[in-house]
Amino acid sequence: MRVFGDAWGVSTETLIGAAELRAFLHGLPGVDQVGAEERAARLATRSIKTSAKAEAIDLAISMVDLTTLEGADTAGKVAALCAKAAHPDPSDPSVPKVAAVCVYPDMVEVAVRSLEGTGIGVASVATAFPSGRAPLEAKLADTRAAVAAGAAEIDMVIDRGAFLSGDFLKVFEEITAVKQACGQAHLKVILETGELSTYDNVRRASWLAMRAGADFIKTSTGKVSPAATLPVTLVMLEAVRDYRAATGRQVGVKPAGGIRTTKDAIKYLVLVNETAGPDWLTPHWFRLGASSVLNDLLMQRRKLSTGVYSGPDYFTLD
Amino acid sequence: MVFEYAPAPESRSVVDIRGSYGLFIDGEFVDGHGEPFKTINPADEAVLADVACADEADVDRAVKAARIAFERVWGPMPGAERAKYLYRIARIIQERSRELAVLESIDNGKPIRESRDVDVPLVAAWFFYYAGWADKLGHAGFGPDPKPVGVAGQVIPWNFPLLMLAWKIAPALACGNTVVLKPAETTPLTALLFADICRQADLPPGVVNIITGAGDTGRALVAHEGVDKVAFTGSTDVGRQIARTLAGTSKKLTLELGGKAANIVYADAALDQAVEGIVNGIFFNQGHVCCAGSRLLVQESVAEEVLERLKARMATLRVGDPLDKNTDIGAINSAAQLDKIRELSAAGEQEGAGRWSPPCQLPDRGFWFAPTLFTGVAQSHRIAREEIFGPVLSVLTFRTPEEAVTKANNTPYGLSAGIWTEKGSQILWTAQRLRAGVVWANTFNKFDPASPFGGYKESGFGREGGRHGLEAYLNV
Amino acid sequence: MSERMTKRMSDRLAVRKTYKLYIGGAFPRSESGRSYPVTDTKDRFVANASHASRKDVRDAVSAARKAFGGWSGRTAYNRAQILYRIAEMLEGRRDQFITELRHTGASKTQAANEVDAAIDRWVWYAGWADKISTVAGAANPVSGPFFNFSTPEPTGVVGIIAPDSPLLGLVSVVAPAIVTGNTTVVIASEPAPLPAITLAEVLATSDLPGGVINILTGHRTELAPWLASHMDVNAIDLTGVPDADVPSLEDAAAGNLKRVFRASEDWADDPGTARMTAFLEVKTVWHPVGV
């Protein structure tokens, strides 16, 4: 494919020039805003019913990164969330468990302990989340601490200031440094698309992150509005699809923030299915960063199995 | 995992198809005197209804009813009052939108997603838009007090039955004309439902008359000497016949005919959106679109990549039950049209073009054709010159912008064209040189009542939509 | 110009003008080698006019097609200046045209008035070149994130069967066709063709590119059907055609769906814009609005 050039078949690069990187990112095909939004909106009209809906709900539950990222988080709050992660619906053991629990670094230890034996991983935000405005050393220390505490996945934020000012190399080098600090932990790179402003930037940031070694690209911190949107996720799904076609390496995608209803979640699954393709339709390659969506998924699940509409009192709030 | 979408059929219970339909003349449904014909559901070939056929005497009755309504009621009525009738119609269309969409999909074969999200909303918008002109005609640039033409004879095609009705009737009525409209013989049902909407709106009898029938009925209508203005949408061949029929008469004529639009993709295009635009350009409405982007002209340096992406995208198209909300491509409208598509596709193969379709299962009954593309097409191939009017894309390449424009214009048609590039000046350079009435840049197949639509050269003359669309229905 | 008149001015034997056709900026004779005599209202011989053939029609259409891209691609301002230049050149030959018109039966005052009106008509249309798009175009407020505009563009090659008003009528049908960028093939008045060829001399010295206006003289009934049926002619103006001939010419024009225009009018009236818009195509361009 034209856009990927001939020079690199490697999936992660450690050496790249600023000019080359800039030329590459600006050489990517553009994204027409209206066309991308139209496509996402049209996919959102897919009607997922009956058996397809049941499958989709379970798949969505299994893709949830159940998240709490509050200044007010405590060990108690985190432990409760972990309990919910392992048994989303205590009254129904057939409900799958979620993919991971996502917390701040200082809560990783509590989460790891609470999730022991469940097979659910702990993801930790790091790198001075959510702003990312800290010295690189602090970001790396943040990362190492989370990994040391047992985090299997690190959700880092990119330096949006550097990105928007055109210092792509700085962003690139930070990601490679954090990737190194991650060791065996998977690296999710948060683009904070709500601050990138254009889909062209989303596409460039996606490629930049993938080339720097991201295992996942993630839309948002959840602290900036807009958080995840369908068209932003569409553009990122196109990026991972094209990146795999060019390099052979598959990268995951995680929309985060703003996903509240079953309808929302299913729209994302349709988007994955018809953009990147079924290969991405597993918790290994697609995650939903959310918390409140889980209860709605459970509620819709029960409606399908019982035939009557349920209510919020029948699902746990932690 | 494989994410199978379970069937999601739209309910048919919202429509009530009668066993037989008469002609709508002077506000009443009356028997026709020709041989009645059957309209069928192209998705399963089931007979939907018996429909009356208007003979010359019926046409005469309809034209006379329209004449009387023009002279006594609609012509003299203040524009502001005409406007209110049209607003009423627009509102009733919105109220009955589900019913109209389902009926359209059943009779035509188009996916419910399109009839629901494109056709019917545009129909309502068309009436709403032209309603607003009815009392403002003196400000439209056709003189201080432009007059209606009189009785309009209108013949419309089967590809957008209700939308073409709206394109014809809304501006005609807004300008103070009365109409006799003949829908296509394979898709009469929504026009007949529209007759009921006219009654619900208390539209005075004779202002809108709907006569059903085939070619003979249409010929009788356009030739009728009581008709002051003829508007036709359909094939270039029939358009030519009509122009000949009208030679030497003082009837006004507008024609919206065939096309073989070029969709030009430059190397610097936003490729994902371009691919969407190509798909939307040719597979929208099964390719039964006069302005379909049926000739893809892609710059050689990206041809391979575009084709790769296009094929991947085509593989996600869902062909099948028009009433399934997830269907992207519905049924071909008729056996005759299916034959034509097959014949031209076979010619494409014989002439040496490479044929490709994604794997897709077609229903056993009904008229179906898989989305198809031909690569290695040359301008001299029939599939690059003749309108296929089906889900068949011919792919050609070009090297320079000049070559793209030359190839795009190398056709007797001139209805529409597409341009895909991120370079603004290149868009305008190309748009200026394309001999086509509608140019979509970085988009395709967009329609709006405020936007004039119509062709150059053998794609017809006159414009529908916008201020320009008034001209056909005013004595200017 | 007739010998009689020039002899009045001197005893020298006049050098007569050979009236030829005007095709592609050149003045060829009819390929057929034919001519026909033109007489004044008292049936006196004035000159021989070329009697064009169908092949001359064909050549004129090719010339017009060849000129179309360049002429329609000129800026409107440039076309305006050229039309104004035609008025200037015509003004300079005012007396010559008055003389020619007098052969067609006009009194001296009538002839002078007609020449003046013809000059003024060029000026009127010259000014339209860069205004008609504003008047006939539009920015359309579609309901979506799109910028949508409509611009009128020239139809292409326009065949014109000119009325018998030999100068003002001729100018009144030709100027509105070319000012917007069309190119034309004109069949001049059959009984009074000479002012048309003299007008061609004006055109040839007015910076008007060759082929924009091609003028044929000859028999209307012979030439018009070839022009009306020609598949590379996009539109036809039947103003100079008698009623009886209209049906067959409109039928022929349907072959490639030519735009057909026919309007009889008093050439002294305000011309309006109808003759320009008759040979314009409205092109509508859509573009998304986004970042």
Cβ–Cβ pairs < 8 A, chains A and C: 15
Tokens (6 digits) for A68: 């709490």
A50–B305 C-beta distance less than 8 A: no
Q: What sign for the dihedral angle of Cα C64, C67, C69, C74?
A: negative
Smallest CA–CA separation between A30 and chain C, in Å?
Answer: 10
A31–B326 C-beta distance less than 8 A: no
B246–C286 C-beta distance less than 8 A: no
Smallest CA–CA separation between A225 and chain C, in Å?
Answer: 18
A76 touches chain C (CB under 8 A): no
A197 touches chain C (CB under 8 A): yes
Amino acid at C36: Y
Give the residue ranges of DSSP H helices in B286-416: 300-314, 335-350, 382-385, 401-409
Q: What's the pLDDT at C9?
A: 58
Residues, chain A: 318
Q: How many helices (H) and strands (E) does chain C have?
A: 11, 10
Smallest CA–CA separation between A86 and chain B, in Å?
Answer: 22
Give CA torsion, residues C269, C271, C272, C275, to 10 deg: 140
Q: Which helix (H) or strand (E) holds A98?
A: none
d(CA B172, CA B177): 5
* Domains present along chain C, CATH in parentheses: 22-33+46-288 (3.40.605.10)
C148 touches chain B (CB under 8 A): yes
Smallest CA–CA separation between A33 and chain C, in Å?
Answer: 5
Q: For chain C, what percent of residues have pLDDT higher than 70? A: 97
Res. C11 pLDDT band, cuts 50 70 90:
confident
Say what angle helices B97-108 and B161-174 make with each other, to 10 degrees: 130
A30–B270 C-beta distance less than 8 A: yes
Mean pLDDT to the nearest integer, C158-177: 97
Within 10 Å of residue B304's Cβ, how many Cβ atoms?
13
d(CA B267, CA B298): 8
Strand order in the sheet with B438-441: B354-356, B372-375, B392-398, B295-299, B262-265, B416-420, B438-441, C280-288, C146-154, C138-139
CATH, domain range B20-257+456-473 = 3.40.605.10
CB-closest option in A39, A50, A269 to B3? A269
Digit-coded pLDDT (tens) for A121-151? 999 999 999 999 999 999 999 999 999 999 9
A165 touches chain C (CB under 8 A): no
Cβ within 8 Å of residue B356, ≥6 positions away: B311, B372, B373, B374, B375
Digit-coded pLDDT (tens) for C26-52? 999 999 999 999 999 899 999 999 999
A278–B3 C-beta distance less than 8 A: yes
Nearest to B319 by CA among B394, B390, B262, B260: B390
Cβ within 8 Å of residue C272, ≥6 positions away: none
Q: What is the CATH number of the domain that holds A299?
A: 3.20.20.70
B143 touches chain C (CB under 8 A): no
d(CA B263, CA B269): 12
Q: Which chain C residues contact residue A197 at CB under 8 A? A: 291
Tokens (6 digits) for A236: 């990122």
B439 touches chain C (CB under 8 A): yes
**Average pLDDT per consecutive 10 residues, chain B (476 residues; last block may be shorter):** 92 96 98 98 98 98 98 98 98 98 98 98 98 98 96 98 98 98 98 98 98 98 98 97 97 97 98 98 98 98 98 98 98 98 98 96 97 97 97 98 98 98 98 98 98 98 98 95
Q: Tell me if B140 sits within 8 A of B133, measured CB to CB.
A: yes
Digit-coded pLDDT (tens) for C131-162? 999 999 999 999 999 999 999 999 999 999 99
Mean pLDDT to the nearest integer, C153-179: 98
Smallest CA–CA separation between C289 and chain A, in Å?
Answer: 7
Q: Tell me if B123 sits within 8 A of B162, measured CB to CB.
A: yes
d(CA C88, CA C80): 12
Residue entry with tokens 């610097």: B268
Name the neighbours of B, counting chains with at least 3 Cβ pairs within 8 A.
A, C
In a domain, A27, yes or no: yes
Q: For chain C, what percent of residues have pLDDT higher than 90? A: 95
Smallest CA–CA separation between A45 and chain C, in Å?
Answer: 18
User: Helix, strand, or coil here: B278?
Assistant: helix
In a domain, A60, yes or no: yes
Smallest CA–CA separation between A134 and chain B, in Å?
Answer: 36
Residue A11 has pLDDT above 50, yes or no: no
- Closest alpha carbon within chain C to A37: C290
Residue C182 has pLDDT above 70, yes or no: yes
Residue entry with tokens 């893809």: B296
C280 touches chain B (CB under 8 A): no
B439–C285 C-beta distance less than 8 A: yes
DSSP annotation of B334 reads -
Q: How far is CA C245 from CA B247, B321, C228, C275, C278, in A?
A: 10, 54, 11, 21, 21
Within 10 Å of residue A74's Cβ, how many Cβ atoms?
12
B273 touches chain A (CB under 8 A): yes
B358 touches chain C (CB under 8 A): no
Q: How many CA atoms lie within 13 A of C198 on its CB side?
A: 23
CB-closest option in A32, A197, A198 to C288? A32
Residue C265 has pLDDT above 90, yes or no: no
C146–A33 C-beta distance less than 8 A: no
Query: What phi and psi values does residue A230 have, to the nearest 5 degrees?
Result: -60, -50
Q: What's the pLDDT at B2?
A: 83
- Closest alpha carbon within chain C to B437: C283
Q: How many CA atoms lie within 13 A of B428 on its CB side?
A: 7
Mean pLDDT to the nearest integer, C119-142: 98
In a domain, A250, yes or no: yes
A34–C289 C-beta distance less than 8 A: yes
Q: Which domain holds residue A198?
A: 16-305
Mean pLDDT to the nearest integer, A165-173: 97
In a domain, A135, yes or no: yes
A30 touches chain C (CB under 8 A): no
Say what angle helices A33-43 and A262-275 make with each other, to 10 degrees: 110
In a domain, A112, yes or no: yes
C290–A32 C-beta distance less than 8 A: yes
Residue A6 has pLDDT above 50, yes or no: no
Question: For domain B262-441, which CATH number applies: 3.30.365.10, 3.30.1360.180, 3.40.50.300, 3.40.309.10?
Answer: 3.40.309.10
Tokens (6 digits) for C22: 């005007």
Nearest to B172 by CA among B163, B181, B161: B181
Nearest to B431 by CA among B419, B442, B445, B443: B419
Residue A9 has pLDDT above 90, yes or no: no
A38–B272 C-beta distance less than 8 A: no
In a domain, A74, yes or no: yes
Name the neighbours of C, counting chains with at least 3 Cβ pairs within 8 A.
A, B
A198–C288 C-beta distance less than 8 A: no
A32–C146 C-beta distance less than 8 A: no
Say what angle helices C220-229 and C246-253 make with each other, to 10 degrees: 30
Q: Which chain A residues contact residue C289 at CB under 8 A? A: 34
User: Helix, strand, or coil here: C43?
Assistant: coil
Q: Which chain C residues contact residue A32 at CB under 8 A? A: 288, 290
Q: Tell me if B384 sits within 8 A of B377, measured CB to CB.
A: yes
Q: Which helix (H) or strand (E) holds B248?
A: none
**Chain A interface, mutation test: which of B112, B272, B316, B440, most A Cβ atoms within 10 Å?**
B272
Nearest to A160 by CA among A145, A147, A150, A175: A175
C75 touches chain B (CB under 8 A): no
B45 touches chain A (CB under 8 A): no
Residue A14 has pLDDT above 90, yes or no: no
B452 touches chain C (CB under 8 A): yes
Q: Which of residues 320-359 of B touch A (CB under 8 A)?
A: 325-326
Tokens (6 digits) for B194: 């529209």
Residue C8 has pLDDT above 90, yes or no: no
A198 touches chain C (CB under 8 A): yes
In a domain, A297, yes or no: yes
In a domain, A315, yes or no: no
B6–A282 C-beta distance less than 8 A: no
Q: Tell me if A192 sits within 8 A of A162, measured CB to CB.
A: no
Q: B194 has which bridge partners?
A: none
Q: Tell me if C62 sits within 8 A of C125, measured CB to CB.
A: no
Smallest CA–CA separation between C243 and chain B, in Å?
Answer: 8
- Closest alpha carbon within chain A to B7: A49
Strands C35-39 and C45-50: antiparallel
Name the neighbours of A, counting chains with at least 3 Cβ pairs within 8 A.
B, C
Digit-coded pLDDT (tens) for A69-83? 999 999 999 999 999
B316–A35 C-beta distance less than 8 A: no
Catalytic residues of A: 155, 218, 254
Cβ within 8 Å of residue A237, ≥6 positions away: A253, A271, A272, A275, A276, A280
Q: Which helix (H) or strand (E) holds C284?
A: strand C280-288
**Chain-centre distance for alpha carbon B401:** 30
d(CA C180, CA C280): 8
CB-closest option in B268, B326, B442 to A47? B326
Cβ–Cβ pairs < 8 A, chains B and C: 109
Residues, chain B: 476
Q: Which helix (H) or strand (E) holds A123?
A: strand A121-125
d(CA B81, CA B297): 49
d(CA C68, CA C81): 18
Q: Tell me if B281 sits within 8 A of B293, measured CB to CB.
A: yes
Residue entry with tokens 């600023």: A18
Tokens (6 digits) for C281: 């195509």
Break chain A down into helix, strand, coil percent, rounded to 5.
50, 10, 40
B243 touches chain A (CB under 8 A): no
* CB environment A119-145: b (16+ within 10 A), e (fewer): ebbbbbbbbbbbbbeeeeeebbbbbbb
- The pLDDT mean for chain A works out to 94
Strands B252-256 and B460-461: antiparallel
Q: B96 has which bridge partners?
A: none
CB-closest option in C140, C251, C254 to B466? C140
CA angle A202/A205/A206 to nearest 5° reads 85
C263 touches chain B (CB under 8 A): no
Q: What's the pLDDT at C204?
A: 98
Which residue did the predictor score with more confidence, A15 or B329?
Answer: B329
Cβ within 8 Å of residue B37, ≥6 positions away: B50, B51, B53, B185, B213, B214
